[in-house]
A and B are shown apart, each in its own frame.
Chain A
Amino acid sequence: MFIFKVWLISIFCSQVEPTATVLDIKSKCLRDEEILQTLPVGTTASFYFRDLGPQLTWGTVFLTECVGPLVIYLMFYFHLPFIYSPKYDFTSSKHWVVHLACICHSFHYIKRILETMFVHRISHGTMPLKNIFKNCGYYWCSAAWMAYYINHPLYTTPYYGQMQVNTGLYVSLFCQIGNFSIHVALRNLKPPGSKVKKIPYPTKNPFTWIFWLVSCPNYTYEVGSWIGFTVMTQCVPVAFFTLVAFIQMTVWARGKHCSYVKEFRDYPTLRSSILPFIL
């Protein structure tokens, strides 16, 4: 279902040339909750509309992003035809770590789907149509690339054997639980429908104590779980995916951190954006 949405831009009359186009106006957009009567304008005001183009709800985009990798990985795991050599069709891997990796990967995306359906509350309701192609393309192709090598008949198990696999597994699991705890804590921060922004603080849950040191611990835990998965599978494509995810999440975390700092005068100074004391 496409949603057509416009942004309302209001500026003082004196600031705009009579022949200016919408693209020339660089002022901020009005928020949804603002009431026209309370706006700081004189007797007349000009309203400029900008068409955002076709939009999709963030829920639709997130769900499509997550269902894809789940299905694609399982296609490679079960050795469906036309992927590997025909003699391996519908066979099962003899390495235990391959089965473990499938469980971990699927658990990660199932958790994400459930969170999208029941836990998350995002402030802006929609995103542009282009995003779904960009995001899905990236997630689906990365999942296919990783799954191809992990489930390959010629897969080589990790160099340090069971110890490496166990370490990766425990780190990954720990961070997944941590990530979930943070999402729940952020959801409980404000009642449903409220648009008031609040600073998140540590709760009784030990996984949220990282809030003392970091502004966006959900990203920290996410990176941690992918690092655990990389160590567990010892696979370069997974490491590459983790690196790209880290870079993207650092960008998001820094933006979030900056907006927190700008919004709240008394924001705790000990906190970094994503890595404690480093970033």
Chain B
Amino acid sequence: CLHRLDQWFSNGAGMDDPAAPLPTSPSCHEEDGTVEEKENNNKKRTKGAVATAWLTFYNIAMTAGWLVLAMAMMRFYIQKGTHKGLYRSIARTLKFFQTFALLEVGHCALGIVRTSVIVTGVQVCSRIFMVWFVTNSIRQIQNEESVILFLVVWTMTEITRYSYYTFNLLHHLPYFIKWARYNLFIVLYPLGVAGELLTIYAALPFVRRSGMYSMRLPNKYNVSFDYYYCLIVFMLSYIPLFPQLFFHMLRQRRRVLHGEVIVEKDD
């Protein structure tokens, strides 16, 4: 039980490598005996095979989804020559595939992917927040240039990431995909953050005026919530979180591309 709890609360120390699925966590009661052990090993192997098959399917599906999005965006721009209305045309596909990414948190929680639940959770939640609670709800900012900026960045990042995972699981990773995954983020990550922050900043006056998602006193729940200040807090949270995630990726890059062994601080 303690091993599972340890992984739940670990922060950023996990490795971003969805290669071999891990065996299931140990329970309170330890089993011994060779016959039971063999049965356990067989069960673990089947679970591992099922997990790998599912992960392969998931990563192929997500790669395909983001490729579809990329092509839809390019086609719209080529046909119409403007970015106005582009978000509306791809909104449904974007919402579907970005929400589907919630499963990744489940993968980490079940242990079939070796990444910290908290890191993945933070990344996926910030995406969901942007898609559902900012661009989807605040229609007036859907034609902003910053929206296109982060959409393009997300598309490029996700296609690279999911194809990397797919090829990794199939044990046939072309070097250029590995190179792309561990180098493009240096440019794409800050650009994506800029796009997201500019979008939220543009949305603030509309939120203030409409008072959306807010609740004032007095009410029978004895709580109040101001979405305007919530968005400001969300923007400020990028200050501590972005450097941590960025340097985490830089450390991964050094390890994967140059084989350097980084001694991490033991918490």
Contact = CB atoms under 8 A, between A and B. Distances in A.
Interface of A: 21, 23, 50, 149-150, 152, 154-156, 159, 233-237, 251, 254-255, 257-258, 261-262
A261 B220 CA distance: 45
Given A254-B1, A258-B1, A261-B29, A237 B223 contact: yes
A156 B28 contact: no
B2 A235 contact: no
A233 B222 contact: yes
Given A255-B1, A261-B29, A156 B220 contact: yes
Contacts of A149: 217, 222-224
Interface in B214-252: 217-224
B100 to A, nearest CB: 27
A251 B6 CA distance: 10
Interface of B: 1-2, 5, 8, 28-30, 217-224, 263-264, 266
B222 A258 contact: no
B222 A159 contact: no
A236 B218 CA distance: 13
A156 B2 contact: no
A257 B29 CA distance: 11
B13 to A, nearest CB: 11
Given A254-B1, A258-B1, A258-B28, A235 B221 contact: yes
A234 B220 contact: yes
A257 B5 CA distance: 13
A156 B29 contact: no
Nearest to B5: A251
A258 B217 contact: no
A154 B221 CA distance: 11
Nearest to A150: B222
Given A254-B1, A255-B1, A255-B5, A236 B221 contact: yes
B1 to A, nearest CB: 4
Given A149-B223, A236-B223, A255-B5, A23 B263 contact: yes
A235 B222 CA distance: 5
Given A23-B264, A254-B1, 5 more contacts: A154-B217, A155-B218, A159-B220, A235-B221, A262-B28
A253 to B, nearest CB: 11
A235 B224 CA distance: 10
A236 B222 contact: yes
B61 to A, nearest CB: 33
A152 B217 contact: yes
Nearest to B28: A258
Nearest to B225: A236
Given A21-B263, A154-B217, A261-B29, A254 B223 contact: no
A234 B221 contact: yes
Contacts of B29: 261
A237 B225 CA distance: 11
| Chain A CB within 10 A, most for which of B8, B219, B222 | B222
Contacts of B1: 254-255, 258
Given A258-B28, A261-B29, A156 B222 contact: yes
Which 5 residue pairs spanning A and B have beta carbons closest together?
A: A236-B223, A154-B218, A235-B222, A154-B217, A258-B1
A255 B2 contact: yes
Contact of A152 (B30, B221, B222): B222
Contacts of A23: 263-264, 266
B28 A261 contact: yes
27 contacts: A21-B263, A149-B223, A150-B222, A152-B217, A154-B217, A155-B218, A156-B218, A156-B219, A156-B220, A159-B220, A233-B222, A234-B221, A235-B221, A235-B222, A235-B223, A236-B221, A236-B222, A236-B223, A237-B222, A237-B223, A251-B5, A251-B8, A254-B1, A255-B1, A257-B28, A258-B1, A261-B28
Contacts of B223: 149, 235-237
A251 B266 CA distance: 22
A270 B8 CA distance: 27
A14 B134 CA distance: 59
A234 B222 CA distance: 7
Given A234-B221, A235-B221, A235-B222, A258 B263 contact: no
Contacts of A261: 28-29
